[in-house]
Chain A
Amino acid sequence: MSLKRSPLYERHVDLGAKLADFGGWEMPIEYAASGGGVLKEHTAVRETVGVFDVSHLGKATVRGPGARAFVNACLSNDLGRIEPGKAQYTLCCDESGGVVDDLIAYLVSDDEVFLVPNAANTAEVVRRLTAAAPEGVAVTGEHERFGVLAVQGPRSSDVLGRLGLPTDQDYMAYADASFGGRPVRICRTGYTGEHGYELIPGWDDTVALWDAIVDAARELGGMPAALGARDTLRTEMGYPLHGQDLSLDISPLQARSGWAVGWKKDVFWGRDALTAEKAAGPARLLWGIEALDRGIPRAHMTMLAGDGAAIGEVTSGTFSPTRKVGIGLALIATDVGAGEGDEVAIDVRGRRRAVRVVKPPFVESHVR
């Protein structure tokens, strides 16, 4: 099956991007050939501003009388906690409490919710919602109707300000604006831990918006940034990535994403299983790990106790460009009694490397 391409594909090629498959989409990993690279792009986001094309993210609209109540009876978080004009991180679970996807829900009105799932899971989320939708509520996949740009970093509001776009939304609030006479939805959100925005223009309006944003970002010392840096940035924040730290086999409780579950709601997918797991206590928990020597944690490495017994598995790992040390997220069996500050180890290709158990983030958050 051929890979799908973002409306910015030609821009990525022009920037000399290294491209790879992200959930069926051919997307940039880094822009080393045009002066970037994972470390420089990462630093740009932490210190100035980076501009990401994340148009591979899914988009879907649930519309019709009672759309909000319908979505609220399916997805985990409580849409009753927010007002129209706000967005919310939420989970789509299956009946066993596994996570089909994590996504952002934009509450437009009681009769309209806009969803941004992960690229690889969009079709499944849309399928499940469609199958459950009551008469009169339509679920429409709009994957290739919109692009998505993320502008992230301490200078992100200056970039949007130069384009005359609104910047004073609260964290997780959005504004519907226009650029060049074309609509664009702008939400104070992101996946980097920095102050930032995600912009949702129409598919065909994405190139013009990208060009203007990249020009403004460069004038402020920023640069285009790609998905390699997005991964190191989110790992430094301890944000779970679906498919690694959160999955059909890793429940929200295990991944410490229980805050995104509306426990008081009468109904949502996976409620019974999750409520039972909460009562019993999860069998394993996601922790941060920080290398105490030169080892770099990588997904699927085995976690080892002092006596060499296997106690869990690394789910994400990388070198932290900000902290200059190996960091990761790991599921550790609860009965081990591991806690913050404990020294355990990882199996790095047959060698034992010491790591410290920590609570993420690894770098201070600036999202608010």
Chain B
Amino acid sequence: MSDIPDELKYTADHEWARVGGTDGKQTVRVGITDYAQQALGDVVYVSLPEVGTQLAQGAPFGEVESTKSVSDLYAPVAGTVAARNDALDQQPELINSDPYGAGWIVEIELAEGADLSVLIDAATYGTLAV
């Protein structure tokens, strides 16, 4: 059984989004779900975008590789990469051990007019993660 925290938003691509922010700037922290990390198996390499990269909603922005396969990461919202989780360069396994915490992937500063309504809630995601 996979863990799907209620307080997060999700995408059909098995990513989670934590909407937050300070100083009037809205940011979204993004990672892959517990279901996704279980399906991938041991993550051995994560390719991350540079800070400042502009992302269109739904655009691929990086890759997560296991021993066997490669999966694209898709921007859940439009915006600019405000932070990347550099720890994943040396410890990609954080995505397996703590997908919602230390295994976060990027933070995106929302573009003006970015649409959050496409994100789905935990209950809806739960019907996809089976």
- Which A residues are closer than 8 A to B by beta carbons? 18, 29-30, 32, 37-39, 228, 231-232, 294, 296, 298, 318-319, 321, 326, 349
B39-55 residues at the A interface, CB under 8 angstroms: 41-42, 44-45, 47
CB–CB A38/B67 < 8 A: yes
Query: A38–B47 contact, CB under 8 A?
Result: no
Contact status A318-B67, CB under 8 Å: yes
In the bound complex, how far is the Cα of B93 from the Cα of A326, in angstroms? 16
Given contacts A32-B38, A37-B41, A319-B44, contact A232 B67 (CB under 8 A): yes
Encode B87-125 as 1/0 by CB contact (under 8 A) with A.
Answer: 000000100100000000000000000000000000000
Judge whether B13 is part of the interface by a CB distance below 8 angstroms.
no
Cα distance, A38 to B69, chains bound together (Å): 12
What string of 1s and 0s marks CB contacts (under 8 Å) between B23-63 and chain A? 00000000000000010011011010000000000000001
By a beta-carbon cutoff of 8 Å, the part of chain B in contact with chain A is 38, 41-42, 44-45, 47, 63, 65-68, 70, 93, 96
Question: Which one of B38, B41, B45, B70 lies within 8 Å of A228 (CB-CB)?
Answer: B41
Contact among B47, B63, B67 for A319, CB-based, below 8 A: B67
Determine if B70 and A38 form an interchain contact, defined as CB atoms under 8 angstroms apart: no
A321 to B44 CA separation, bound complex (whole angstroms): 9
- Checking A30, A231, A296 against B44 with a beta-carbon cut-off of 8 angstroms, the contacting residue is A296
State A319–B46 Cα separation when bound (angstroms): 12
A294 touches which of B45, B67, B70 (Cβ 8 Å):
B45
- Within the complex, the shortest CB–CB distance from A33 to chain B, in Å, comes to 8
Q: Complex Cα distance A37/B41, Å?
A: 7
State the Cβ distance, B87 to closest chain A Cβ, in Å: 15
Task: Specify which chain B residues have a CB less than 8 angstroms from the CB of A37 in the assembled complex.
Answer: 41-42, 96
Closest to B47 in A: A294
Q: A39-B42, A319-B44 are in contact. List 4 more A-B contacts (CB 8 A).
A: A32-B42, A38-B68, A228-B41, A296-B70
A39 to B68, CA, bound (A): 11
A277 nearest CB across to chain B (Å): 33
- B45 and A29 form a contact (CB under 8 A): no
State which of A38, A294, A349 has its C-beta within 8 Å of the C-beta of B42.
A38
In the complex, the answer to whether A38 meets B45 with C-beta atoms within 8 Å is no
Q: In the complex, what residue of chain B is closest to A30 when comparing beta carbons?
A: B41
Nearest-Cβ distance from residue A290 to partner chain B, whole angstroms:
15
Is B38 a contact partner of A321 (Cβ separation < 8 A)?
A: no
A228 CA to B69 CA in the complex, in Å?
11
Query: Which residue of chain A lies nearest to B46 when distances are taken between CB atoms in the complex?
Result: A294
Q: Are B66 and A38 in contact (CB under 8 A)?
A: yes
Measured CB to CB, the closest approach of chain B to A34, in angstroms, equals: 13
Residue on A nearest B63 in the bound complex, by CB: A349
CB distance from A317 to the nearest CB of B (A): 10
* Inter-chain contacts of A349 with B (CB < 8 A): 63, 70
List A contacts of B70 (CB < 8 A).
296, 298, 349
Contact of B65 among A18, A228, A231, A296 (CB under 8 A): A296
A326: chain B residues within 8 A (beta carbon) = 45
Q: When the two chains form their complex, are residues A18 and B41 in contact, meaning their CB atoms are under 8 A apart?
A: yes
Chain B residues within an 8 Å CB radius of A232? 67
Question: Which residues of B sit under 8 angstroms from A231, Cβ to Cβ?
Answer: 67-68
- Do the beta carbons of A296 and B45 come within 8 Å of each other? yes
- How far apart sit A349 and B70, CA to CA, in the bound complex (Å)? 10
Kindly name the residue among B38, B65, B93 whose own CB sees the greatest number of chain A CB atoms within 10 A. Answer: B65
> How far in angstroms is the closest Cβ of chain B from A36?
10
Distance between Cα atoms of A318 and B67 in the complex (Å): 6
Are A32's CB and B44's CB within 8 A? no
Chain A residues contacting B68 (CB-CB under 8 Å) are 29, 38, 228, 231, 318
A271 to B96 Cα, complex, angstroms: 50
